[in-house]
């Protein structure tokens, strides 16, 4: 499978393996990290960002592609639908069927609210399903929420909303227990102790996992629970615009059937946006580890009704996307591979960094190593080695099959046995660190509009740690569900309106913008243009 040139380099990696495996590379100082990030992290490539010229974040920057989305026309601007006889009426409308949406649905249902999920693909088609490595919670005797706070807040460059981080870490153990009580299987020893590992930037081993199907195991269980509760799930249906009432409160959404194009109206007392991330926007031309529908829909919907974004200019590039073979280009290679002992090695067989720096630092370090000329050349590009055979050298034979079977399978399909050969990795677009600004009740500044999960911003500051996103979707999905259900009890919905669409349109015109595109885009367009 590997080219001759790559096989030559593998010989160097093999020759140095025993020594590389035994060494403990130095961690970078704060100053070294700062310089590295500013020089090599994609977030610092200013030519890849534009200034937002309308709306609540006017004057701030965002990736070019996101600015274009935010400043596009509404899909329905020339054809506003009739709102007088809604197709659906519910207390809590949840947009998105991933981990946050499903958690919110279960809690809102628990609280007695009438709940409905709309999702543009199927329930569970979400980044949660693809999370491999694990979920953090400070539940070991040598650990504490205070320690978890320190890691998360520091890892996010001291920019996170402290109260959101507080909530994240103090509710983490309860969320693990909640999941476990729902039947989620966690890796445990024979006494029931959680088998935990480090992630990049953690100071305690608090990564809980279900092999390397952690997110899939959580998502399929949540989905099963949503179905057991007979919560209505309207699938293959996307939200394309929010609806407000005459008080300016959020009161539903305009929906569109993904297959037939039919427009439907959902009226709701409260709305929860749980639409996830934006990897499929391919910022800066990066490949992505995200699922097919990760196109920032929630940011667009919320922004158009006036909800501000936070840290929309910071993205996470997962250090270890698959760089070879091309069939899996950009796919996630879980950080757990490094948690289990595999190190990053350059073309000459040299370890060039500590494998468990935070993700932004690790990604920038890999980019630097390639720019230094120490890259492994692949037929389609470049990368560095992730020396997977080290895992079994350190932990014994059988470890890979037991702990990271998905990785073994993913590469095995293309003739690479990761137990015997290293793999080539390069950063891949993985996560939007920011999102819609919310309070600790998950509500935005727009009354009755809640946002949770990856679509919300503030909890991770400017960089998220491994295992804090699965945690985020559970903690804040549940949080949004509980608060939304409580809120819905007192809401009397006024007259429905889409006036904000024209208002936003006017803002665009006043700013001299004539959009040539509409948003949200709902899905990326990968179809080859067969007519040129």
Partner 1 sequence: MEQMVNVFVMGKKYEVPASLTIMKALEYAGYKLVRGCGCRNGFCGACATIYRIKGDRELHTCLACSTQVVDGMYITQLPFFPLIKEIYDINEVRPDETVMMKTYPEIYACIGCNACTNACTQGLNVMQYIAYAQRAEYEKCAEESFDCVMCGVCSSRCPAGISHPQVAMLARRLNGKYIAPKCEHLADRVEEIASGKCEEAIRANMALDDAAIREMYNTREIEK
Question: Scanning residues 171 to 210, which ones bind partner 1 (CB under 8 A)?
Answer: 173-174, 176-177, 180-186, 188, 190-194, 198, 202-205, 210
318 is annotated as an active-site residue: yes
Min separation Cβ 336 and partner 1, Å: 14
Q: Which stretch binds partner 1 (CB under 8 A): 2-10, 99-107, 218-226, 245-253?
A: 218-226
**Which of 35, 39, 51, 228 is the binder for partner 1 (CB under 8 A)?**
228
State which of positions 415-444 bind partner 1 (CB under 8 A): none
User: Helices 162-170 and 468-488, interaxial angle, to 10°?
Assistant: 100
- Closer by beta carbon to partner 1, 177 or else 348: 177
Report the residue number, 44 or 414, with the smaller CB distance to partner 1: 414
Q: Which of residues 240-299 bind partner 1 (CB under 8 A)?
A: 258-259, 289, 291-292
**507 phi and psi, to 5 degrees?**
-60, -40
State which of residues 9, 57, 136, 221 lies at the interface with partner 1 (CB under 8 A): 221
State the alpha helices, DSSP H only, in 183-259. 214-228
Burial letters 81-111, b for 16+ CB under 10 A, else e: bebeebebebbbbbbbbbbbbbbbbbbbbeb
**Which of 269, 274, 272 is CA-nearest to residue 247?**
269
Q: Is 307 helix (H, G, I), strand (E, B) or coil?
A: coil
Backbone phi and psi for residue 352, each to the nearest 5 degrees, phi listed first: -110, 0
* Sheet order of strands, 309-310 included: 309-310, 435-437, 456-457
Site for partner 1 in 75-134 (CB under 8 A): 121-122, 124-125, 129-130
Least separation in angstroms between CB 203 and partner 1? 5
Residue 44 as a binder of partner 1 (CB under 8 A): the answer is no
Q: Which is nearer to partner 1, 147 or 374 (CB)?
A: 147
> Closer to partner 1 at the Cβ: 379 or 494?
379
231 near partner 1, judged by CB under 8 A: no
How far apart are CB 111 and partner 1 at their closest, in Å?
17
Q: Which of 17, 223, 338, 478 is catalytic?
A: 338
CB under 8 Å to 266, separation ≥6 — which residues? 86, 87, 88, 89, 90, 93, 116, 118, 239, 243, 252, 253, 254, 255
Select from 272, 228, 319 the least CA-distant residue to 482.
Answer: 272
Nearest C-alpha neighbor of 383 from the set 461, 476, 320: 320
How far from each other are the two terminal CA atoms of the chain, in whole angstroms? 33
Please pick, from the candidates 13, 240, 253, 328, the single residue that binds partner 1 as defined by CB under 8 A: 328
Least distance between partner 1 and beta carbon 259 (Å)? 6
Give how far the C-alpha of residue 422 lies from the chain's centroid of Cα atoms, to the nearest Å: 27
Residue with tokens 């939007």: 432
Residue 140 vs 377, nearer CB to partner 1: 140
517 binds partner 1 (CB under 8 A): no
CA distance 78 to 68: 19
- Residue pair 314/83 in contact (Cβ under 8 Å)? The answer is no
439, two tokens: 């309070």
Closest CB 413 distance from partner 1, rounded Å: 6
- Beta carbon nearer to partner 1, 413 or 506: 413
Is the separation of the CB atoms in 273 and 293 below 8 Å? no
Number of residues interacting with partner 1: please give it, by CB under 8 A.
Answer: 87
Measure the CA–CA gap between 227 and 220, rounded to whole angstroms: 11
CA dist 501 and 87 (Å) reads 21
Applying CB under 8 A, does 217 fall inside the site for partner 1? yes
Nearer to partner 1, 52 or 353 (CB): 353
To the nearest whole angstrom, how small is the minimum distance from the Cβ of residue 28 to partner 1?
Answer: 11
Min CB(174)–partner 1 separation in Å:
5
Considering only 26, 285, 516, 526, the residue that binds partner 1 (CB under 8 A) is: 526
Within its chain, how far is the Cα of 107 from the centroid?
A: 21
Query: Between residues 211 and 487, which has the closer beta carbon with respect to partner 1?
Result: 211
Task: Report the alpha-carbon distance of residue 521 to residue 120 in Å, rounded.
Answer: 11
Site for partner 1 contains 48 (CB under 8 A): no
Q: Pick the catalytic residue: 318, 359, 460, 464?
A: 318
Told to judge if 198 belongs to the known catalytic residues of this protein, a careful annotator would answer no
Residues 139-158 that bind partner 1 (CB under 8 A): 139-142, 144-147, 149-151, 153-154, 158
Q: Is 153 or 385 the residue whose CB approaches partner 1 more closely?
A: 153
Distance CA 212, CA 336 (A): 8
Query: CA 481, CA 116: separation in Å to the nearest integer?
Result: 11
Considering only residues 361-400, where is the footprint of partner 1 by CB under 8 A? none
Helices (H), 41-98: 64-70
Assess 360 for contact with partner 1 (CB under 8 A): no
Active-site amino acid positions: 318, 338
């Amino acid at each position: 499978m590997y080219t001759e040139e790559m096989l030559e380099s593998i010989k160097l990696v093999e020759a140095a393996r025993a020594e590389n495996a035994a060494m403990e590379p130095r961690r970078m100082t704060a100053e070294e990290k700062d310089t590295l990030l500013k020089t090599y992290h994609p977030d610092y490539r200013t030519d890849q960002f534009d200034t937002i010229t309308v709306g609540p974040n006017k004057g701030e920057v965002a990736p070019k592609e996101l600015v274009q989305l935010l400043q596009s026309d509404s899909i329905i601007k020339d054809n506003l639908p009739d709102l007088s006889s809604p197709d659906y009426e519910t207390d809590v409308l949840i947009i998105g069927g991933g981990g946050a949406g499903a958690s919110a649905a279960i809690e809102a249902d628990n609280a007695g609210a009438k709940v409905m999920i709309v999702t543009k693909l199927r329930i569970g088609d979400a980044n949660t399903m693809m999370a491999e490595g694990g979920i953090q919670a400070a539940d070991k005797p040598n650990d504490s929420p205070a320690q978890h706070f320190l890691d998360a807040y520091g890892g996010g460059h001291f920019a996170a909303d402290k109260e959101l981080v507080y909530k994240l870490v103090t509710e983490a153990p309860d969320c693990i227990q909640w999941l476990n009580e729902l039947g989620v299987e966690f890796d445990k020893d024979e006494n029931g102790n959680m088998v935990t590992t480090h992630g990049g930037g953690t100071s305690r081993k608090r990564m809980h996992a279900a092999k390397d199907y952690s997110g899939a195991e959580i998502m399929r269980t949540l989905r099963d629970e949503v179905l057991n509760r007979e919560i209505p799930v309207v699938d293959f249906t996307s939200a394309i615009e929010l609806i407000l009432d005459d008080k300016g409160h959020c009161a539903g959404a305009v929906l569109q059937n993904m297959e037939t194009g039919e427009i439907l109206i959902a009226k709701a007392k409260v709305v929860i946006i749980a639409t996830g991330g934006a990897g499929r926007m391919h910022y800066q031309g990066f490949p992505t580890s995200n699922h097919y529908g990760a196109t920032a829909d929630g940011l667009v919907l919320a922004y158009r009704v006036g909800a501000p974004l936070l840290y929309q200019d910071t993205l996470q590039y997962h250090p270890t996307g698959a760089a070879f073979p091309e069939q899996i280009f950009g796919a996630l290679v879980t950080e757990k591979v490094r948690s289990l002992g595999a190190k990053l090695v350059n073309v000459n067989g040299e370890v060039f960094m500590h494998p468990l720096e935070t993700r932004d630092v690790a990604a920038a370090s890999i980019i630097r190593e390639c720019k230094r000329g120490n890259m492994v050349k692949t037929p389609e590009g470049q990368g560095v080695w992730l020396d997977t055979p080290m895992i079994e050298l350190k932990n014994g034979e059988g470890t890979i099959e037991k702990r990271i079977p998905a990785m073994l399978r993913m590469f095995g399909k293309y003739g690479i046995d990761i137990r015997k050969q290293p793999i080539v990795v390069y950063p891949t677009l993985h996560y939007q660190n920011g999102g819609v600004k919310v309070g600790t009740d998950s509500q935005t500044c727009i009354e009755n509009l809640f946002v949770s999960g990856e679509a919300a911003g503030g909890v991770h500051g400017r960089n998220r740690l491994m295992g804090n996103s699965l945690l985020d979707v559970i903690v804040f999905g549940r949080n949004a569900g509980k608060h939304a259900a409580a809120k819905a009890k007192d809401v009397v919905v006024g007259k429905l309106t889409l006036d904000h669409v024209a208002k936003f349109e006017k803002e665009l015109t006043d700013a001299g913008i004539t959009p040539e595109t509409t948003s949200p885009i709902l899905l990326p367009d990968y179809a080859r243009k067969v007519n040129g």
